[in-house]
Structure formats: C-alpha cells, structure tokens
C-alpha cells in the first residue's frame, strides 16, 4: 500500500509563543559555533514561494512524489513540462538580504556550517561555502539508469530545441520549480532521455516520498554534533528530513533557535522562536553584531 508523504501537521498542546526580539539569536551568534538549517522561508523574498505559510504553494498544489515520477511516462511528461517552465523563474532568482546575512555570519567565523532544505542554490550565490544541500539541487540532473550527473542548463537547452513554441501561461511557480499548468497545457511536451544511456532523467533533488541519501544524513548529524547551537531559518520543520536534526540538537542539550513567522513542528524543542520576516530579522542581527553585509558598513 502506497502512503503519501507528510505535507501538513497540526500542533499539539500550547504553541511556543513567538517573540519579535532577536536577542536570543544574537547571543547564540556572538558565542559562535552556530549551525544553520534553512528552509523555503528564506527564499520567499527572492521571489520563490514557500510551501506552508498562509497562501503557500501547498494550498493549491500537491508536489509530485518519487513514486508518481517513476510510475510512468505520463507523470514524467507532466513534471518536465511544468519544471521546464519553472526553471526560467529559478534562473532569474537572486539572493536576498537573508542569504547575504548568513554568508556574512560565516565570513566572520560565527557559523560551523549551513544545511539547507532548499534546492535553489541561493545560499551559494550569496557567497556561503560548503553548503550541504539536504534535498539536492535543481541545477543538476541525474540519470536513474546510469547515474550520470549533468548540468540543468544543458537539459534546458535540449528541451527548448525539442519543444519550440512551448510558451504556456502558468498560474504560479512552486518552491520545487514546478509551474502550475493544466494537463491540456502539457499535452504534447517532449521529454528527453539521458544522452549517455537513453535512461530516464530526474532532477537531482529529493522528491516527496523519497529518502535523503544516508551518507548525507550522517554528514548533517556530524555537523550537529560539532555545533554549539542550531539556528533554524524559515522552515516549518514539517517533514522529518529537517526535524530530526532539531531533535538531535535538543537531545544533546544544545540550544535550538528558530526564526520563522509561523509556528513550527520543532517549536517544543526550541529555546525561542523569533516571529519576524527573515530578511529584516537577519539584517537587524547583523547590525546588532556590527557585521557588514555585502561589504557595506552596518555601523
């Protein structure tokens, strides 16, 4: 029996009240040794929607699961047509103040690492190094038969040539790069095979219903063990792929700080949740710590 992945959660008991005072996060950053775990909320100010906030993409869109993708060619045609259109939006996205602040904290030696649940590459574009992409990256494509990795841009050029005139109007773009299109709009879209073996191509991302590679999980667990505290930025922590690291940190007695406007599934493990927009909150923190962002002075 196929089960659907966890897309929503309902809080049990009294929620952790949010605060608008970022001082607990400032204290953690000042002490150093902070590991960042970021989610879709850090990229909304770059024009990429999140999943679960009010008006988030899950209110109108059910992400394709790995099981659906591998089940047959119809589902893959639907995915690649929608993703091909959405890729153009991802390609235009640029890092925002939140991404730049995280990179600045790292440059000043306050962070031990960055784990992101996002697949947009914006942390790296902002200058963060050694980012662990927990759910992979839309910038790469993998063949399910031979395992060869190739640049997404290369496949995009091939798809453009094979689908000339494909210019449907999308109702919206989702955090996984999937554009909202109808079945009629994707009908006739040509899906291309691997150029090496002719196998099925898949974006090098972890779909809903797919497991994060064990070695990647263990690497993240090691980062949690090495950190002094864990700072969660813009994640509802609904799925276990990120929540497990919050639980690990809390069980080890390490402070967990969350910056997210809405309650999260990890709140009961947190010392504080700062309920502020991420860009403003992280910029305020940089100012408070006298850390220049993008080379500018913060006073």
* 99 among known catalytic residues: no
Determine the Cα–Cα distance for residues 105 and 89; give it in Å rounded to an integer. 28
- What long-range pairs does 290-295 form, CB within 8 A, spacing at least 24? 291/101, 291/104, 291/105, 291/108, 291/110, 292/104, 293/97, 293/100, 293/101, 293/104, 294/100, 294/104
Query: Which member of 135, 219, 269, 290 is catalytic?
Result: 135
Structure tokens at 6: 């966890």
For residue 253, what are its two tokens? 């007695």
Beta strand 111-116 pairing with 132-133: parallel
Report the alpha-carbon distance of residue 279 to residue 45 in Å, rounded: 7
> d(Cα 84, Cα 89) in Å, to the nearest integer?
10
Distance CA 172, CA 241 (A): 26
**Pairing of β 149-151 and β 136-143:** antiparallel
Going by the annotation, the residues of the binding site are 39-59, 117-120, 143, 146, 194, 197, 234-236, 278
Helix (H, G, I), strand (E, B) or coil at 170: coil
Annotation: binding site for Zn(2+): 143, 146, 194, 197
Known binding-site positions for NAD(+):
39-59, 117-120, 234-236, 278
Could you tell me where the DSSP H helices lie in the chain?
23-31, 66-71, 73-92, 97-107, 122-125, 152-162, 183-186, 214-226, 240-251, 278-288
Residue positions annotated with a catalytic role: 135
């Amino acid at each position: 029996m196929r089960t659907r992945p966890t897309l929503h959660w309902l809080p049990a008991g009294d929620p952790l009240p949010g605060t608008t005072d970022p001082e607990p996060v400032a204290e953690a950053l000042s002490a150093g040794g902070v590991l960042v775990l970021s989610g879709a909320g850090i990229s909304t100010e770059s024009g990429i929607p999140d999943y679960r906030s009010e008006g988030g993409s899950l209110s109108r869109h059910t992400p394709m699961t790995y099981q659906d993708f591998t089940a047959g060619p119809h589902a893959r045609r639907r995915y690649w047509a929608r993703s091909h259109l959405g890729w153009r939006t991802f390609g235009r996205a640029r890092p925002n103040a939140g991404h730049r602040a995280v990179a600045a904290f790292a440059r000043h030696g306050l962070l031990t690492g960055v784990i992101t649940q996002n697949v947009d590459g914006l942390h790296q574009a902002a200058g963060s190094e050694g980012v662990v992409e927990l759910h992979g990256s839309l910038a790469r494509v993998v063949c399910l038969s031979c395992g060869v990795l190739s640049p997404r841009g290369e496949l995009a050029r091939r798809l453009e040539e094979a689908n000339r005139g494909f210019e449907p109007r999308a109702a919206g773009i989702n955090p996984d790069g999937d554009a909202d299109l109808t079945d009629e709009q994707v009908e006739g879209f040509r899906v291309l095979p691997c150029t090496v073996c002719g196998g099925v191509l898949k974006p090098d991302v972890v779909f809903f219903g797919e497991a994060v590679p064990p070695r990647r999980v263990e690497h993240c667990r090691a980062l949690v063990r090495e950190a002094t505290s864990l700072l969660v930025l813009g994640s509802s922590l609904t799925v276990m792929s990120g929540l497990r690291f919050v639980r690990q940190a809390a069980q080890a007695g390490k402070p967990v700080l969350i910056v997210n406007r809405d309650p999260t599934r990890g709140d009961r493990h947190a010392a504080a949740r700062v309920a502020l927009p991420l860009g403003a909150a992280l910029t305020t923190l940089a100012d408070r710590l006298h850390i220049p962002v993008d080379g500018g002075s913060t006073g």
